[in-house]
C-alpha cells in the first residue's frame, strides 16, 4: 500500500529491551505492519533512514559520538521523535558511569580484571571504534525530543497505544497504569 | 600492501546490539583484512562498585534486553553464594529453571524466525526490501503468526516467574520471590501441546534447510575450533547449571567437570586495541590456539546426550551428519539452536507438571561469603558473572565474560572466511555484503551486552545541544 506513514527505530546506548517491548505487542505487530512502513530499524537491513519518517523511536541515550550523529540524523528525518524508555529519557543504567572518570573504567575492564591478558598494557584505541563522551546524555540534551515514554522498558501496551495514536493523528492519552518508571 | 578500498558494513543489522564490519581490499581486490569491531561501551565492572549486592541481579540485566533473564539468573547464582544459599529449595530451583527455559524458548524463536529466517527463506542476496521479518509475514503469514506466538509463550512464562517480561525481579539471593499458582500454570499447560508441535516443526525447517544445502553451507564461514560449555555431572546438556567442559575440533577433551568457581584458572581474555570486546581463550593452550566457540553448536558438541527424548532424537540426527565428530560448521548453529528450542519446551512441559512449583519454601541462607561466581548457559552461550562483596554488602569488584564475548574470535574468523571466499576479485554488491552478516547472525550475537567497557581515542569532540549550546568538550590523547 502506498503512502503509509514511515516508522524508524534505533537503539543508541540502550540494551534492546525497549525494542523487545515493541515486539511484545505480539500479534498486534501484524496490525502495525498494516499501519506503517518500516524505514531504518535493527529488524531490517536498512542502514540509514531513506525517506521522511512520521515517527522515530529512539531507545537509549548518547554515550559516544556515533550515537550523537545517528540521533541528529533521526531528528532531521523524523516529524515526531520519541525518547523510549528510561535510558533515552534520562540516561538510565548506563548513566551510572557518569560519576566515574573514564580512565578508571578503562583500567578496570582492560587492565585489572582477573581474566585480563594484556601483556603490552594497551587499551582499545583505533580509528574504527567511536570516541566516547565523558558522560551518557539523555536524548533531549542533544536534540529536541517530542515525547518521552518512561519505563524500563515501557510496557508493550504503552508503546502500542502511543504509536497508534501518533500514526492515526489522535491525541496520546495514556492511563496512569501505563506510565511507570522502574 | 596498500589499501585501495575500504568497505564498511554499519550497523550490522538483525542482530542485537551494535557492531561494524570493516573490510580492506588492495588494488587487486584481494582482502587485506576483515574485522568485526565492537563499538559499544558500558563500564559496568566499574560503576557496579559500591552498589548493594542484592541490587545486582536486577541492575545487571539492563546490559541486555533480549536475554535479561540470563544476566538476572547468573548474577543471582553468584549472589546465592554470597549469602551461602546456593543449595536452593526445590521450588526456588525449579521456578528459576522454568524462567530460564522460557527465556531460552523465546530467545531462540526470536533469533530464528524474526532475525535469521529471511536469509534462509529468501536467499542471502535477496532484495533488501523483503529480506526481513515483515517480508516473511507477507509471504509466509502462518509461519509469522507461529513465530509471534512462540515468542509470546516464552515471554509469558518469564512474566509469570519474574514479574515482568523484560527486566523482572523474580530471582533474589538464595532463592526466588514467588512461586507459580495453579491458575498461572494451567494457562501454560493448555498451550503446551501446540507449542511442542511448533517447536518440532521449527527443528524440521532448520534440519531440512541445512541438509538440503549442505554442500553450500559446509564451507560457509566455517573453520575448526575448540568448544566450551557447562554440562551436567553425567555429561548431559544442562542449560541452568553444571561444570565446565571443553573439547577440541576433533572431540578430544581439553578439560572436563571443572567446578566453575575456579574458572579464572582456566579462562583468560586477550585485549586487542581495535575492539572494545575482549578475546577469551583457554589458558593452558594460550591466546593463539586456545580460543573456542560457545552457544548452541558448542553445546551440541560438548554434551554426551540430552535428557529429553524429542531433543535427544533430534541430536542423534544432528551428530549423524558429522559421523559423531564435533560439528564445526558455522551455519549448523541454526539447527543446533532449534534442537535446544525443542529441549527447552520439553523441560517447560515437565516442570509445569511438577508440584514443587506451587511450594512455598522460597529462600535459603547460610554462611556469608565474600566471593560469588555464577555461570549458566545463556541462549548465546556460557555466561560468567563474578563478584566480590565487602562486609557492608557493597560490591567491590565485578568481572563478566558475556556469552557473545566468548564467540568474538569465531565471529571474526567467520567474517574473514566469508570475505575471502565471496568478496575477493568481484564486483561487490549489497547482497554479497549480506553474506558477511549471515555468518555473523549464525552466532546470534548480542553485541550490546558483550561490551560493558569504555574506550578512549586521541581526538577532540564537542557535544552541542539543539540550541547550539556546548554541553561537553573533550580532548584526549
Ligand atoms: S530503558 Fe531499560 S529496557 Fe530500555 S534500553 Fe534502557 S535499560 Fe533497556
Q: What is the CATH number of the domain that holds B326?
A: 1.10.645.10
Residues of chain B contacting residue A46, judged by C-beta atoms under 8 Å apart: 13, 128
Q: Which atom of ligand 1 is nearest to the CA of A153?
A: 3
Q: Which residue has the cell 509469522?
A: B144
* Centre of ligand 1 from the C-alpha of residue A155, in Å: 11
Residues of chain B contacting residue A137, judged by C-beta atoms under 8 Å apart: 463, 471-472
State pLDDT tens for residues B287-321. 999 999 999 999 999 999 999 999 999 999 999 99
Range of the domain at B180: 44-450
Show the ligand 1 pocket: residues with CB < 6 angstroms: A 14-15, 17-18, 59-60, 85-87, 92-93, 152-153; B 62, 65, 166
State pLDDT tens for residues B2-17. 788 888 888 888 777 7
* ipTM of this predicted structure: 0.93
Across the interface, of B148, B268, B448, the residue whose CB is closest to A115 is B268
Q: What is the average per-residue pLDDT within B112-118?
A: 93
Which candidate, B458, B49, B456, places its Cα nearest to that of A133? B456
Within a domain: B335: yes
Look at residue B453 and tell me whether its pLDDT is greater than 70: no
State pLDDT tens for residues B200-246. 999 999 999 999 999 999 999 999 999 999 999 999 999 999 999 99
Partner-chain contact B133 A43, CB within 8 Å:
yes
Range of the domain at A175: 6-98+132-179
Alpha carbons A96 and B190: distance in angstroms, whole number: 43
- Residue A81 has which C-alpha cell? 521523535
Look at residue B399 and tell me whether its pLDDT is greater than 90: yes
* Centre of ligand 1 from the C-alpha of residue B266, in Å: 34
Look at residue A76 and tell me whether its pLDDT is greater than 80: yes
Residues of chain A contacting residue B40, judged by C-beta atoms under 8 Å apart: 13, 63-64
Total structural domains in chain A?
Answer: 1
* % of chain B at pLDDT higher than 70: 93
| pLDDT value of residue A3 | 79
Could you tell me if A133 lies within 8 Å of chain B, comparing CB atoms? Answer: yes
Partner-chain contact B399 A104, CB within 8 Å:
no
Within a domain: B136: yes
Residues of chain B contacting residue A78, judged by C-beta atoms under 8 Å apart: none
Within a domain: A120: no
State pLDDT tens for residues A88-108. 999 999 999 899 987 888 788
Q: What is the average per-residue pLDDT within B39-55?
A: 88
Within a domain: A126: no
Q: b vs e for B434-444, b when ≥16 Cβ sit within 10 Å of the residue's Cβ?
A: bbbbbbbbbbb
* Centre of ligand 1 from the C-alpha of residue B68, in Å: 11
Minimum CA distance residue for ligand 1 atom 6: A87
Q: B448 falls in which pLDDT band (50, 70, 90)?
A: low
| pLDDT value of residue B454 | 32
| pLDDT value of residue B160 | 98
Q: How far is A25 from chain B (nearest CA, A)?
A: 9
| pLDDT value of residue B471 | 53
Q: Which atom of ligand 1 is nearest to the CA of A86?
A: 1
Residues of chain B contacting residue A18, judged by C-beta atoms under 8 Å apart: 65
Q: What is the average per-residue pLDDT within B420-437?
A: 89
Within a domain: A92: yes
Three-state secondary structure readout of chain B: CCCCEEEEECCCCCCECCEEEEEEECCCCCEEEEEEEECCCCCHHHHCCCCEHHHHHHHHHHHCCCCHHHHHHHHHHHHHHHCCCCCCCHHHHHHHHHHHHHHHHHHHHHHHHHHHHHHHHHCCCCCCCCCCHHHHHHHCHHHHHHHHHHHHHHHHHHHHHHCCCCCCCCEECCEECCCCCHHHHHHHHHHHHHHHHHHHHHHHHHHHHHHHCHHHHCCCCCCCCEEEEEECCCCEECCCCCEEEEECCCCCEEEEEECHHHHHHCEEEECCCCCCCCEEEECCCCCCCCCEECCHHHHHHHCCECCCHHHHHHHHHHHHCCCCCCCCCHHHHHHHHHHHHHHHHHHHHHHHCCHHHHCCCCECCCCCCCEEEEEEEECCEEEEEEEEECCCCEEEEEEEECHHHHCHHHHHHHHHHHHHHHCCCCCCCHHHHHHHHHHHHHCCCECCCCCCCCCCCCCEEEEECCCCCEEEEEECC
State pLDDT tens for residues B325-368. 999 999 999 999 999 999 999 999 999 999 999 999 999 999 99
Within a domain: B473: no
From chain A residues 54-83, the ones with a CB under 8 A of any chain B CB are 62-66, 68, 75
Total structural domains in chain B?
Answer: 1
Mutate to test the interface with A, among B14, B40, B400 (most CBs of A within 10 A): B40
Within a domain: B229: yes
Within a domain: B10: no
Within a domain: B31: no
Q: What is the CATH number of the domain that holds A89?
A: 3.40.50.700
* Centre of ligand 1 from the C-alpha of residue B33, in Å: 35
Within a domain: A139: yes
Across the interface, of B145, B165, B449, the residue whose CB is closest to A15 is B449
Q: B455 falls in which pLDDT band (50, 70, 90)?
A: very low
Could you tell me if A101 lies within 8 Å of chain B, comparing CB atoms? Answer: no
Q: Which atom of ligand 1 is nearest to the CA of A152?
A: 2
Alpha carbons B167 and B162: distance in angstroms, whole number: 8
Partner-chain contact A27 B145, CB within 8 Å:
yes
State pLDDT tens for residues B76-102. 999 999 999 999 999 999 999 999 999
Across the interface, of B41, B128, B278, the residue whose CB is closest to A64 is B41
DSSP state of A57: E
Q: Do residues B408 and B277 lie in contact, with contact meaning Cβ atoms separated by under 8 Å? A: yes
| pLDDT value of residue B469 | 55
Amino acid at each position: 500500500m502506498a503512502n503509509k506513514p514511515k516508522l524508524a527505530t534505533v537503539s543508541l546506548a540502550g540494551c534492546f529491551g525497549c525494542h523487545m517491548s515493541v515486539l511484545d505487542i505480539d500479534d498486534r505487530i501484524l496490525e502495525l505492519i498494516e499501519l506503517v512502513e518500516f524505514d531504518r530499524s535493527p529488524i531490517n537491513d536498512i542502514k540509514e533512514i531513506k525517506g521522511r519518517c512520521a515517527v522515530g523511536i529512539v531507545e537509549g541515550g548518547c554515550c559516544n559520538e556515533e550515537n550523537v550523529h545517528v540521533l541528529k540524523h533521526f531528528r532531521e528525518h523524523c516529524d515526531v521523535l520519541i525518547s523510549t524508555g528510561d535510558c533515552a529519557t534520562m540516561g538510565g543504567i548506563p548513566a551510572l558511569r557518569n560519576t566515574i572518570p573514564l580512565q578508571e573504567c578503562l583500567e578496570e575492564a582492560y587492565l585489572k580484571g582477573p581474566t585480563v591478558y594484556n601483556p603490552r598494557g594497551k587499551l582499545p584505541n583505533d580509528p574504527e571504534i567511536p570516541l566516547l563522551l565523558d558522560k551518557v546524555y539523555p536524548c533531549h540534551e542533544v536534540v529536541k525530543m517530542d515525547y518521552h515514554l518512561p519505563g524500563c522498558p515501557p510496557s508493550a501496551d504503552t508503546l502500542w497505544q502511543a504509536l497508534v495514536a501518533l500514526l492515526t493523528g489522535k491525541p496520546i492519552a495514556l492511563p496512569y497504569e501505563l506510565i511507570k518508571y522502574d | 600492501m596498500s589499501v585501495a578500498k575500504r568497505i564498511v558494513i554499519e550497523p550490522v543489522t538483525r542482530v542485537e546490539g551494535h557492531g561494524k564490519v570493516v573490510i580492506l581490499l588492495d588494488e587487486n581486490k584481494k582482502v587485506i583484512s576483515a574485522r568485526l569491531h565492537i563499538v559499544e561501551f558500558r563500564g559496568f565492572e566499574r560503576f557496579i562498585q559500591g552498589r548493594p549486592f542484592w541490587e545486582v541481579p536486577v541492575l545487571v540485566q539492563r546490559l541486555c534486553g533480549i536475554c535479561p533473564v540470563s544476566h538476572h539468573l547468573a548474577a543471582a547464582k553468584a549472589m546465592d553464594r554470597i549469602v551461602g544459599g546456593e543449595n536452593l529449595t526445590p521450588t526456588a530451583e525449579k521456578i528459576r529453571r522454568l524462567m530460564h527455559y522460557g527465556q531460552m524458548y523465546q530467545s531462540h524463536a526470536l533469533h530464528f524466525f524474526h532475525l535469521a529466517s529471511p536469509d534462509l527463506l529468501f536467499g542471502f542476496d535477496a532484495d533488501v526490501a523483503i529480506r526481513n521479518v515483515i517480508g516473511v509475514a507477507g509471504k509466509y503469514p502462518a509461519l509469522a503468526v507461529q513465530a509471534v506466538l512462540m515468542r509470546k509463550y516464552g515471554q509469558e512464562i518469564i512474566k509469570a516467574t519474574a514479574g515482568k517480561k523484560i527486566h523482572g525481579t523474580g530471582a533474589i539471593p538464595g532463592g526466588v520471590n514467588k512461586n507459580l499458582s495453579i491458575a498461572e500454570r494451567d494457562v501454560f499447560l493448555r498451550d503446551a501441546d501446540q507449542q511442542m508441535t511448533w517447536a518440532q516443526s521449527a527443528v524440521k525447517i532448520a534440519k531440512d534447510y541445512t541438509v538440503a544445502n549442505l554442500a553450500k553451507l559446509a564451507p560457509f564461514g566455517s573453520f575448526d575450533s575448540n568448544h566450551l560449555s557447562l554440562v551436567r555431572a553425567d555429561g548431559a546438556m544442562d542449560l541452568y547449571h553444571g561444570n565446565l567442559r571443553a573439547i577440541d575440533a576433533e572431540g578430544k577433551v581439553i578439560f572436563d567437570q571443572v567446578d566453575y568457581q575456579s574458572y579464572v584458572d582456566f579462562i583468560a581474555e586477550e585485549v586487542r586495541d581495535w575492539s572494545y570486546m575482549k578475546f577469551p581463550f583457554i589458558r593452558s593452550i594460550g591466546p593463539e590456539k586456545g580460543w573456542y566457540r560457545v552457544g548452541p553448536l558448542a553445546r551440541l558438541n560438548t554434551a554426551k546426550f540430552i535428557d529429553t527424548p524429542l531433543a535427544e532424537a533430534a541430536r542423534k540426527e544432528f551428530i549423524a551428519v558429522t559421523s559423531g565428530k564435533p560439528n564445526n560448521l558455522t551455519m549448523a548453529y541454526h539447527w543446533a539452536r532449534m534442537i535446544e528450542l525443542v529441549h527447552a519446551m520439553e523441560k517447560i512441559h515437565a516442570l509445569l507438571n511438577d508440584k514443587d512449583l506451587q511450594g512455598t519454601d522460597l529462600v535459603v541462607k547460610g554462611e556469608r561469603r565474600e566471593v560469588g561466581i555464577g555461570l549458566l548457559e545463556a541462549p548465546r552461550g556460557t555466561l560468567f558473572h563474578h563478584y566480590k562483596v565487602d562486609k557492608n554488602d557493597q560490591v567491590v569488584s565485578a568481572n563478566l565474560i558475556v556469552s557473545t564475548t566468548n564467540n568474538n574470535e569465531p565471529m571474526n574468523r567467520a567474517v574473514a572466511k566469508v570475505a575471502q571466499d565471496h568478496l575477493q576479485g568481484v564486483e561487490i554488491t549489497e547482497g554479497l555484503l549480506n553474506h558477511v552478516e549471515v555468518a555473523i547472525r549464525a552466532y546470534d550475537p548480542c553485541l550490546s551486552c558483550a561490551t560493558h567497557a569504555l574506550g578512549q581515542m586521541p581526538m577532540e569532540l564537542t557535544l552541542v545541544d539543539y540550541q547550539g549550546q556546548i554541553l561537553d568538550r573533550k580532548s584526549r590523547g
